[in-house]
Structure 1
Amino acid sequence: MPHVQYFWGFPDETTMDGILQLHNSIFENADELLEKASKRPKLLFVTVIEQDKVVGYKIGYELSADRYYSWYGGVREEYRGKGIATILMEHQHRLVREAGYATIETKTRNKWRSMLILNLKHGFDITETFYDDDGIHRITLVKGLIDKKGSEMSWI
C-alpha cells in the first residue's frame, strides 16, 4: 500500500536518490534539479512511497510570503492513471495552505497535457502563456488556497 511522506527541506539520502532517479527518467536533468533546488527558499518535497520505492514526487518552493510555486513532479510510468499525481497535489496544497500561503502557481507546457488537465481539474486558472528563452511555449496557472476569511478555496 503506497504512503505519503513529506519534507520541508531536503529529504533523507535514500528518498532523495529515489526522487532523482525518477526525475531523471522523466526530465533527464537530475544534476540541474539538485543545483537549482539548493538555491530555492522553503523547499517542500512530497513523495508517494511503495515498498521502499519512490513512485511519485512533487517539489515546490516559496515565491513570496503568500505565494508558493509548484515546481517539478512526476509519477513512475507503471503507476500513472492510479491517482498518485492527485494525491501528491492534494497533500502539497494542504501543506502549503497550512503554512500560510494564499496562492500556488505552476507552469507547464502543452506537451505535458495530463499535468495541464490535472491542474485545471483541481482549480487552477490559466493566467498567462508565453515563450521562454528557448522558444518553448509555456503556460502559467494559479490557484487560490485561502480566501479573505481564512477559509480554504479552490479557485481565484
Structure 2
Amino acid sequence: MPQIHHYWRIPDEQVMDGILQLHNEVFENADELLEKAAKRPNILFVAATEQNKIIGYKIGYELSADRYYSWYGAVQTEFRGKGIASMLMELQHCLVMEAGYKAIETKTRNKWRNMLILNIKHGFDITETFYDDEGIHRITLVKSLIENKEVI
C-alpha cells in the first residue's frame, strides 16, 4: 500500500525530482512545470510513494477564493489500475474542501479517457468543451464540494 503525502507548497528537492521525472514521462514538459508551479497561488501537491519512490501525484492551485483548480496528475504505468489516482484525488478534494473552497475545476482531453472517466466517477460534471489556442479539443469539468449542491 503506498504512502500518501501532501504539501501546501513546492515539496523538497527529492520529492519534486520524483514528481518531475514522472511528469516528464507522461506530459513531456517537466522543465516548465516547476517554473509555472512557483507562480500559482495556494499550490497543493499530493504525492504517493512506495519505497521512497514517487509513484503518483496530483497538483492543484487556487483559481479564486471559492474555486480550486486540479491541474496535473499522473500515476506510474506499473501502478495504474490499483486505485492510486482515486486516493490522490480524494485526498486533494478533502484538503481543498477543508481549506474552504466550494468547487474544484479541471480540464482534460479526450485522449486522457481514463482521467475523464475517473473525474466523472468522483462527482465532476462536464460544463464546457472548447478548442484551445493550439486547436486541441478540451473538456472542462467542475465538482461542487458542498454536499447536495449543483456545480457553482
Give me the TM-score of the superposition, normalised by structure 2: 0.97
- What is the percentage of aligned positions where both structures have the same residue? 74
Contact residue 69 and residue 104 of structure 1 kept, 8 A: yes
C-alpha spacing 1:101/1:65, structure 2 compared with 1 (3 Å): same
Which residue pairs with 1:35 in the alignment? 35
Q: Which residue number corresponds to residue 149 of structure 1?
A: none
Alignment root-mean-square deviation, CA? 1.1
Partner of 1:125: 125
SS at match of 1:40: coil
Runs (4+) off by over 3 Å? 152-155
Distance 1:41 1:10 in 2: 11
Following superposition, the deviation at residue 35 of structure 1 comes to 1.3
Q: Is the 8 A contact 1:56 1:75 kept in 2?
A: yes
Name stretches of at least 5 consecutive residues in structure 1 with no aligned partner: 147-151
Aligned pair in 2 of structure 1 residues 155, 120: CA closer, same or farther (>3 Å)? farther
Identify the residue that residue 54 of structure 1 maps to in structure 2: 54
Distance (Å, rounded) in 1 between the aligned partners of 2:139 and 2:20: 25
Residue 65 of structure 2 is aligned to residue 73 of structure 1: no
Cα contact 1:123–1:155 (8 A) shared by 2: no
Q: What SS class does the counterpart of residue 116 from structure 2 fall into? A: helix
Counterpart amino acid of residue 142 in structure 2: V
The residue identity in structure 2 corresponding to 1:138 is: R
Instruction: Provide the residue aligned with 2:108 in structure 1.
Output: 108
Cα separation, 1, equivalents of 2:2 and 2:138: 32
Deviations 1:29-86 (A, max 9, x none): 0011111111100000000110000000000000000000000000000000000000
Distance in 2 separating the partners of 1:114 and 1:58: 15
Any idea what SS the aligned residue of 1:34 has?
helix
CA distance in 2, matches of 1:21, 1:45: 15
SS in 2 for 1:64: coil
In 2 relative to 1, CA 3–98 (structure 1 residues): closer, same or farther, beyond 3 Å?
A: same
Give the CA deviation at 1:106.
0.0
Residue 96 (structure 2) pairs with residue 93 (structure 1): no
The Cα shift of 1:153 comes to 4.9
Evaluate the alpha carbon distance shift between residue 138 and residue 109 of structure 1 in structure 2; reply closer, same or farther with a 3 A threshold: same
Q: Which runs of 5+ in 2 are unaligned?
A: none
CA contact 1:143–1:154 (8 Å) conserved in 2: no
